[in-house]
Amino acid sequence: DGIDVLRERTALRRQLGYLPQEFGSYPRTSAERMLQHFAALKGIHGKDQQREVERLLVLTNLWDVRKRSVDTYSGGMKQRFGIAQALLGNPQLVIVDEPTAGLDPAERRRFHNLLVEVGEERVVILSTHLVDDVSELCPRLAIMGGGRILNTGGPEQLVAQLRGQLWSCVVSRPEAQTLRTQHKVLSARLKTGSMEVRVLAAEQPIGMSAATPTLEDVYFATLQQHGLAANLE
């Protein structure tokens, strides 16, 4: 929106909401009181503060537990409280860092639904290592490695680029080492004493079957293309 993010930092911060991977709270302080405190720090006072805090408690499904201390919340409830404080002041850019790490499947699904709802009205930047989060939430992604952006695009678009070029087989660990010298191995995963090896090749290698590419394969292929292939053993 025309803001120079390096020179106009104060203007940027007025538009910015942030949910860190981990955050603390004052002991024995309710979610409602904590949000009122954060709202005051953002310059929201009086009836505007009351309306904003109530709106966010409802949005994040914390209204019924608003009087409870935040430090007694479950992991998922804390993350929902975190997104509530990030949305104070109606920021147009929200950054969330590893938002579903450590959540059980039910809380993860609730948080996904909440992020989708939040993203309908503002830009949400999701920083995560969890491929499932990216595939379910992000219409556009960037893969970073070595401090650089290596690849960008839509999840389906990037996955489609690997179709017809990805192959897999299950072999012993010594055989997996041999395959590394013969093929462009993207990843090798230990399964019940054997190794599931995934290979990138224009034509089907002998003894391998076609594999359905995933975003994880896109990640490994991108790293390999830039000489940053990870050691998975």
pLDDT in tens, 53-92: 999 999 999 999 999 999 999 989 999 999 999 999 999 9
Percent of the chain beyond pLDDT 70? 98
* Mean predicted confidence (pLDDT) in 17-32: 90
Residue 40 contacts residue 49 (beta carbons within 8 Å): yes
Instruction: Classify residue 143 as left (phi > 0), alpha (psi -120 to 50) or beta.
Output: beta
Cα 36–chain centre separation? 28
* Nearest-angstrom CA–CA distance, 162 and 7: 41
Cα 141–chain centre separation? 10
Strand-pair partners of 69: 30
Check residue 27 and give its pLDDT.
87
Q: 217 is written with which tokens?
A: 């394969």
Residue 233 pLDDT > 60: no
**How many contiguous H segments (helices) and E segments (strands) does the chain have?**
9, 9
| Higher pLDDT pick, 31 / 27 | 31
Check residue 193 and give its pLDDT.
82
Check residue 156 and give its pLDDT.
94
DSSP calls for 127-144: E-S-HHHHHHH-SSEEEE
For 93-115, how does the pLDDT look when each residue is reduced to its tens digit (9 = 90+)? 999 998 888 888 888 898 899 99
Predicted TM-score of the model (pTM) = 0.81
Check residue 205 and give its pLDDT.
94
Check residue 3 and give its pLDDT.
93
Query: What is the average pLDDT score of the chain?
Result: 92
| Higher pLDDT pick, 208 / 130 | 208
Identity of the amino acid at 49: Q
Check residue 231 and give its pLDDT.
57
* Nearest-angstrom CA–CA distance, 159 and 38: 41
- What b/e string do you get for 95-133 counting C-beta neighbours within 10 Å, with b at 16 or more? bbbbbbeebeeebbebbbebbeebbeeeebebebeebeb
Check residue 232 and give its pLDDT.
53
Q: 42 is written with which tokens?
A: 């953002």
- HSE toward the beta carbon, residue 72, CA cutoff 13 A: 10
Phi then psi for residue 80, to 5 deg, are -70, -35
Percent of the chain beyond pLDDT 90? 71
Residue 199 contacts residue 176 (beta carbons within 8 Å): no
For 134-181, how does the pLDDT look when each residue is reduced to its tens digit (9 = 90+)? 988 999 999 999 899 999 999 999 999 999 999 999 999 899 989 989
Rg (CA), the chain: 22
